[in-house]
Structures are given as structure tokens and as C-alpha cells.
Structure 1
Amino acid sequence: MANHFDLAASAHAEMLREGFQPDFPDGTKAQINQIYSSVNGSHNNMRDLRGLLWSSIDNDTSRDLDQIEVAERTDGGIRMRVGVADVSASVAKNTPIDQHAAFQTKTVYTGVRNFPMLPNELSTDLTSLNENVDRAAMVVEFVVDPQGCRSQPAIYEAMVRNKAQLAYSRVGPWLEGKAGPDMKIAGSLALQEQLKLQDEAAQALREQRVSEGALEFNRIEADPVIIDGKVHSIQTAPRNHATELIEDFMIAANETMAETLRAAGRSCIRRVVRTPERWDRIVDLVGRYGTQLPAEADSTALNTFLRKQRKLDPVHYPDLSLAIIKLMGPGEYVLSSGTDKEPLGHFGLAARDYTHSTAPNRRFADLVMQRIVRAMLANEPPPYTDAELTAIATQCNLQEKAGHKVERTMQKRVAAVALADSIGKVFRGVVTGASQKGTYVRIFDPPVEGRVVRGEEGLDVGDTVTVKLLHTNPQMAYIDFARVPGR
């Protein structure tokens, strides 16, 4: 029965249930045709950076490419350029496509079907930084010195050309020396040197950020293998040098963007994580591991503990990370007025100035930020009032929560389908929850969570156990295990 469960239809229904509008409105096709017909290849008033060795690194199956990078060694350090797809040049404010994006606020990824914020004709084609095509981009530039500090910031429009579309799964192991280069990298010494230079800059940025108190988490995420619409297996999503490299440049570009707008006195939307209100709960949790944190919130002390615990107990570390993330509270979008002298910062990144700006194909907040920056560069009035930005931030927060619900539910359903042929098999795992609501276990391979419905007595969070798969139900998103006695 599970093998015949229609996951794509289930995902669509889940989107509707959580208040999304998964289908594009009337007028979308006409607007797409108008956008395509208006593309004339004019590059006036733009820098031409198509000759640089730009590359992108993303998931193996990603088609909505928002970000490309290129590095250059200078006397003062490594000059980084992060090119962000210029979506604002194609999608005008208050048009049908923009209004749909403003309501959805994000692309929702369910594993079996994606629900794009923008039509695929744009997000995976005209406004995607695809390989070997000319594209307009908003470039964020900065120099990274050997200590990982940024300087000489600049933001400008440019024409770019992605010379190599690469994947985390292949670039990461090569950078780490665990595997040879893939065909693209092997065929270009210049690309090899470029990626190593980028990695050098990224590691410097990361070490500087950690020294300032940024937190390093290591959550385990499941990545379904879908072939011809069918779930074949569940594997662990890669996290390696390549994923960290892109993350480091994304963070640095977002910080540069927020700093530049604050200096210009421009209102914008910021991405913040407030100083934890439940810091005392974090102190109690960490105290169980023999470490005493300060009474006042201190991200540096917390990350020192996290780094140590990750080395001491890698099996339980992902669940410890998740527990602390939940206690910290969610990230949120807020208005930052152009007159704010001390805007809210991002506790987890130890960043005073932070926003979301590097994924305008996937997040509406980033598209809004791009319009704000474009107006700043042109010395034009702001495209949004503070009241409009407040309303946008509120909608983004609401839809982010709803989107997470859709994605979590579908992850459970996909896992239930993937395990349907494994009834009776035995797995090792770790207990992730134990309360009156039930006892839950995360098995190690594949990385799937389910409920222990038999033999759960006496189990507590953190216990390593052996369990047997009893039952899966994709419709109800259930995966049920029984504890195997004596093992």
C-alpha cells in the first residue's frame, strides 16, 4: 500500500492545508511572456564581469541557482565577489507574479515535489544563474584578510556568466582530500586553484566568526532519493567543506548588505535571532554535561561547549544541537528602520548586522532587499514604506512556520514510504524524545525518526537502543518501532 501512496498529491494537499496557494494565478503566463519579450541583452550601466571564472555549488538536483562566487588574491587579502541572481530586474512590484510571491514568501521543498515561489520559467531559467549563459546579477564584494576580517565592501550590478555548475557532494570530498576531482574540476587547473582560494577565504571567515561567538551546529538531515517520482531510499544530506564554503560566503554577503544599508540610512528587513529568553534552560541543559555556562547569555562560551561535545560524543551531538536550537528560539524577519542606531542582531551568528539577500528566486524577503538596494544604488526613493516592510516581515514569519510544517510532514511520509519494505528489520538508533506524548527514536541508517510503541518503558533521551520496525503509515505519517530486549 505504501509503495502506491501518491506523495506528490499529498504534498499539494498539505500545502493547501497550511494556507499556501501552490498554483500560480491568472495572468502569470502573460507576464512571463512579457518578461521574455523585454529581454534585449542590453548591458548599459553594468560592469561586464563575464570573463571571470565564476562557479556555483549547490545540491546535485538544484536548478534555481541564486548565487555564484569568484575569488582573487590581492595584497590585502582575498577579494571575494558573490553574484546574486538579479530577480528584481525581471519581476516588477505588485505584478501578478510578485503578488503571488508576496503571499507565498518562499519556495517549499517536499522531496517529492517543489512548490516554487516564482514560476519555473523564471526561477530555473531566466533568473537562474545557470551554467554558460549570460545573466544580470547584484554583486556583493569584500576583501577577506588572513584573520578573516572583511573590508572594502561594495555592491553593484554586473553581467556575469557561471562557468561551472558544481555540486556539494563532489566538491566537498575533493576539497577535504577524501576523493579525487570530478570531470569538470579535473579538466581545469584554473578552476582547481579558484576553488582552493575560495576555500581559504571561507575558512578564514568561519574562524573569525567563531572567535566572535558564532555557534556551530551539526544537525542530521535526511535526503530522499527520488527516481521517476518513486522513493528509492533515504540518505544523509551531505555536510562538508563545500556546504560550509557556500554558507560562509552567504553569511558574509548578507552581513555586507545589512551594513551597507544601515550606513546609507535605508530601511530594510533583517533576519534576527534574539538573545535567548530561555538562557537559563540552556544553562541547565549544558550543566548536565558537566559544563557551567555564565548566567548571562554568552554565545562564545556556548560554542566552546558545542565544539568540545561534538568531538566527545558525535552520536548524540545532532540531538543536543537540535535541543539547543529549540531553546534559542526561531529566527525571524523584522523591520530595521533607516534611523535605527542599534538594530537587532543575530545571536547565533554573533552578527550585529544581518539580513537575507542571497536567494531572491526562493525567498521573498531577499527579493524585497534587492529592490531596496537597487533604489539605493540609483539614489532613488525607497520602494517600500516602513509599514509595508513590517507587513512583509510578518507574512514571511507566518509562512516560514507553515512551510516548515509542510516539509516536516512530508519528510515523515517520504520516510514511511521508503521503509515500507523493511518491516521486521532491526536498526540501531538514539532516543530523541521521552514524555507523556510518546517515546521517539532516530535510527542511524537511514536517518529517520519514529515512535517506540512497544518496550519503551524506562527509555530516556540520549539512550542508544536497538529497535525493530513494526509498521509504517504514509497517510498518517507514522513509523512505529519496538524495542529489541537485551540489545
Structure 2
Amino acid sequence: MTSHRSDLKGIARRAMVERGLLPDFSAAAMAELAHIQRAATDQQSPLRDLTSLLWASIDNDDSRDLDQLTVAELQPDRSVKILVAIADVDALVTKDSALDAHARHNTTSVYTAGELFPMLPEQLSTDLTSLGEGQDRLAVVVEMVIAEDGAVLRSALFRALVLNHAKLAYNSVAAWLSGTGPAPERISAVSGLEAQLRLQDQVAQRLKARRHQQGALSLETLEPRAVFDGEVLTAVRVDQKNRAKELIEDFMIAANQATASYLKGKGVPSFRRILRSPERWQRIVEVAARWGEPLPGEPDARALETFLVKRRQADPVRFPDLSLAIVKLIGRGEYVLDQSKDRAPEHFGLAVKGYTHSTAPNRRFPDLITQRLVKAALAGTSTPYRPDELKYLAGHCTEKEDDAERVERQLRKSAAALLLESRIGQRFDAIVTGASDKGTWVRLLDPPVEGKLGGITRGLDVGDTVNVELISTNVERGYIDFSRVGA
């Protein structure tokens, strides 16, 4: 019997090894895990008991590695206090332990169509260090007071005991918020949660509006996901952005900024997540010029955002194709060590300065590093990482994140190759997503899969639209080859 899932699992494990990632935990790590029987408690440190607040999680339908909870409190002056609780993973995964060594090596969970390779064993990440519904859990809380115009008036960090009152999913919450679906059962079951989430949604929209006024980019890329019927791959579907995802995204961006600000205020060297000014800005200018939109000669996030907003309004169906082209031209984010006391490094795409990663310590090692730095600063103890160690880890985390993304991308392509195996010779509309000395790459508009374009590609660049014919597929390598029609 055909088992596409099993085939993809084998490919995923081989791709992990090829990229220098560890698909399995060491015997030492599993021995450590065997001694961890329950969630962490802390009798020594001062903890706030915030279990009575209406905390809830919003994540993917099938997610169990829950890293954060949110809650909002309306203030007398119409500002709103937003609290983000982040799972205290460090309480069970100590620095330099065997479990930490695995997390430090891979630096991230790797999500593939064949198999999930968690950064931490699932007994931890989906249970003992997860903010699961109905469980008292230790957390690092980021508290922010947000003005009516979306400005963050002040922020603070502290440790607390929290309780998830409702595990919610993006799609059903988004449908309810936008008025296209009923309130999810868990929202209706918890008194006061409906009003609580509507308040959070209002504040998130204010934060988002303010960031975009300052030049944050309205990008909407497609995220293809393999769909199975049992063990058989049946489709590749795109996960769309929605209001609930934006709610969490906007709160996490604000929490990450507040965390970076806290560490800077304490004089602690720490990670920053940056996106440098685009090297291929001139090509972005050329892409915008096709629609009669002039952009300045030097990189300008606000001008680019104005162009993106116009294009989304003019052609929402094809906007993700433009977004993908712009994302490729802007380049990739990276981790750097920030020891400066004055000017914070910038994130071009988010239009923020002094930004870090702190809100997903079950899934990303940089967030676990940041959590340890925060906890040491809160306790007034010595910093757990030397500056030279942090500098090395910043480069290492960037490199391994790239490796993990290559594995995920290869498996998306392997799944796509499986789906297209029987369609050799068919023609498709496509958009150019990459053009360099190494080759030219295109993504089909339907199904949303990417492959290499052979034959005559002279004159093509990112953002161009072409008609292509499917020539061959290689499921093992994730290769999909097209030729240009009518070149």
C-alpha cells in the first residue's frame, strides 16, 4: 500500500543529516529526560500568582508546543495593559545539559511534511514546558501598556505562575473575529473570554497600524502545507494570514521589543534579530516601476510600504506573488550580538529598532538564550553567557536556521514533486522567485509549488511572470524542473 507520509519521513531524516542537523536525541539527553517527571516549580524566587487572569493560547489547530499566553486589562485612561506569558523552558532545560546540547546544535524545531523534529523532546515541549490548557505553569511575563494610538507607553518583565484557561486555534478564532463564523466552543465556555479577546484584537490592530505608519512592510507570502488523507498525500494547500494570527504576531513583536529594551536597560549583551537594508534595492525599484510607482534611489521602508499597500488594494489575488518577489529581494534575517549602549540595530521589514526573539523558547534556541539572560537580570545574578559565547551563538543560530529552512523547503518540494509526478508535460502559469548565476526558479500559481526553470531564461528576473511546462520530478531530492513555453 502506498504510504506517501512514510516516504516523506525517510526523505526528511536524510535531509536533516545532510544539513548537519540531528534527527534524534542522544542517549544522554534521553537519560536526562527520564529523570524529569513533572513540570517545574520554584519555591525560592518571588513569583506573582496570575493564575486567575483569563489567559488563553491561540496557535495552529494541531499545535501542542504552546509557548505563549496573552491577556488584556483595560485601564482607567483608556490605555490597555497587555500581558504576554512565555513558557519558562529554562526551569527544566538547564544550560550545558545534554538536552540543552541538542537544542544548541539544531537551534530550532524543524517542521516537515514527513515528520516534526522538535528542538526539545515532546514530553517537554508539548507537556511539561508547554503552557497547556488547565495546567499551572511557570512563565516569564512581559507587561506592556498600550496607548489608544498604538504607542507602547511603558513595559516591565517579571516571573509569574500562570494558567491557560482556553486552548484556541487561529482559523476558528479568526472566523469569529471577522464575523464569518461562530464563537469557538472554548470561548463560549469561559466567562468573560469573548470580551477579553475582542479587546486584545482591538489593541493588536492599533499596534499593527502604528508599525505600518512607521514603515513596517505589508508582506503576505504563501505558506504551502501538505495535506494527507491517512498516509496518502492529496493536496498542497496554502495557509493564509488571518486576524487571529496577526493578533499574536503583533503582540509577539511588541513583547520582543520590550524584552530587548529591558536587557539593554540592564546593560546585558544580548541577541538582536535584524534584517539589513536590502542589497537588491535597485531591483525592487524596477519591480515597482512596472506599476508606475517610483521608489527613491536609496532603501526606504515607508516608500516601499506605500507601494505594497496600493498593490494589495489593486490586486489582492496576485499580491502574494509580488510579496514573495519582494521578500526574496530584501534578503534574510539574522542574529547578531548587540553590546551597544546607544543605537540599536534595525529590522528593515518590521520598521523596529532593538528587536530580539524571546517568545518561543520551546521551538527556538535564541529565545531560550534570551530567557536565560532575562531571568539572570531579574534575579540580579551573573550573566549566563559570555559576550564571545553569544557572538559565536548568534552566527551559529543564523546558520542552523538556514539549514532547517532548507530542509523544510526541500520537503515542501518533495511533497510537491509527489503531487506532480503524474502531470509531466502539463503547462502552468508561474512567477519567477529567484534569478542568479546558480539558476532561475519559478513558483506555479496553482498548485503553489516551486521548481527550477531550464532552457532559455535570459532576461528573466524576480517578479516576472512566465508560462512553463513540467519536464521532470525527483521526489527524493525535491527537484521539479520546468521549461519556458514560447521563449
Which amino acid letter does the alignment assign opposite residue 92 of structure 2? S
Alignment pair present for 1:261 and 2:258: no
Question: Is the contact between residue 140 and residue 256 of structure 1 (CA under 8 Å) also seen in structure 2?
Answer: yes
Which amino acid letter does the alignment assign opposite residue 313 of structure 2? K
Matched with 1:324 is 326
- Deviation of the 1:48 alpha carbon: 0.8
- Return 5+ residue gaps in structure 2 as ranges: none
Label 1:280 to 1:8 Cα distance change in 2 as closer, same or farther (>3 A).
same
Question: Is the contact between residue 426 and residue 466 of structure 1 (CA under 8 Å) also seen in structure 2?
Answer: yes
Matched with 1:49 is 50
- Tell me, in whole angstroms, the C-alpha distance in 1 between the residues paired with 2:458 and 2:278: 33
- Tell me, in whole angstroms, the C-alpha distance in 1 between the residues paired with 2:44 and 2:163: 13
Q: Deviations over 1:214-246 (max 9, x none)?
A: 111010110112354442321111311011111
- Deviation of the 1:452 alpha carbon: 6.0
Matched with 2:301 is 299
TM superposition score normalised by structure 1: 0.91
Moved more, 172-181 or 367-376: 172-181
Alignment pair present for 1:96 and 2:98: yes
- Deviation of the 1:111 alpha carbon: 2.2
- Deviation of the 1:439 alpha carbon: 6.2
Secondary structure of the 2:35 match is helix
Matched with 1:442 is 443
- Deviation of the 1:43 alpha carbon: 8.2
Label 1:389 to 1:451 Cα distance change in 2 as closer, same or farther (>3 A).
closer
- Deviation of the 1:44 alpha carbon: 5.7
Label 1:460 to 1:29 Cα distance change in 2 as closer, same or farther (>3 A).
closer
Question: Is the contact between residue 7 and residue 114 of structure 2 (CA under 8 Å) also seen in structure 1?
Answer: no
Label 1:27 to 1:184 Cα distance change in 2 as closer, same or farther (>3 A).
same
Moved more, 400-409 or 1-10: 1-10
- Tell me, in whole angstroms, the C-alpha distance in 2 between the residues paired with 1:142 and 1:9: 45
TM superposition score normalised by structure 2: 0.91
Question: Is the contact between residue 316 and residue 430 of structure 1 (CA under 8 Å) also seen in structure 2?
Answer: no
Q: Deviations over 1:56-95 (max 9, x none)?
A: 1111111111111111111231110001000011111111
Matched with 1:192 is 194
Alignment pair present for 1:124 and 2:133: no
1:85 aligned to which of 84, 87, 105: 87
Alignment pair present for 1:372 and 2:373: yes
Which amino acid letter does the alignment assign opposite residue 89 of structure 1? A
- Tell me, in whole angstroms, the C-alpha distance in 2 between the residues paired with 1:390 and 1:29: 29
Secondary structure of the 2:89 match is coil
- Deviation of the 1:446 alpha carbon: 3.0
- Tell me, in whole angstroms, the C-alpha distance in 1 between the residues paired with 2:287 and 2:467: 25
- Tell me, in whole angstroms, the C-alpha distance in 1 between the residues paired with 2:435 and 2:40: 57
Label 1:49 to 1:422 Cα distance change in 2 as closer, same or farther (>3 A).
farther
Alignment pair present for 1:349 and 2:379: no
- Deviation of the 1:437 alpha carbon: 6.7
Moved more, 475-484 or 368-377: 475-484
- Tell me, in whole angstroms, the C-alpha distance in 1 between the residues paired with 2:97 and 2:426: 53
Secondary structure of the 2:90 match is coil
Secondary structure of the 2:84 match is strand
Secondary structure of the 1:101 match is helix
- Deviation of the 1:279 alpha carbon: 2.8
Label 1:424 to 1:277 Cα distance change in 2 as closer, same or farther (>3 A).
closer
- Tell me, in whole angstroms, the C-alpha distance in 1 between the residues paired with 2:10 and 2:204: 41
Q: What RMSD, in angstroms, separates the aligned Cα atoms of the two structures?
A: 2.7
Q: For 1:396-435, what aligned pairs fall within 5 Å after superposition?
A: 396-420=397-421, 429-430=430-431, 432=433
Q: For 1:157-176, what aligned pairs fall within 5 Å after superposition?
A: 157-176=159-178
Matched with 1:273 is 275
Identity %: 47
- Tell me, in whole angstroms, the C-alpha distance in 2 between the residues paired with 1:316 and 1:434: 20
Question: Is the contact between residue 236 and residue 446 of structure 1 (CA under 8 Å) also seen in structure 2?
Answer: no
Label 1:330 to 1:459 Cα distance change in 2 as closer, same or farther (>3 A).
closer
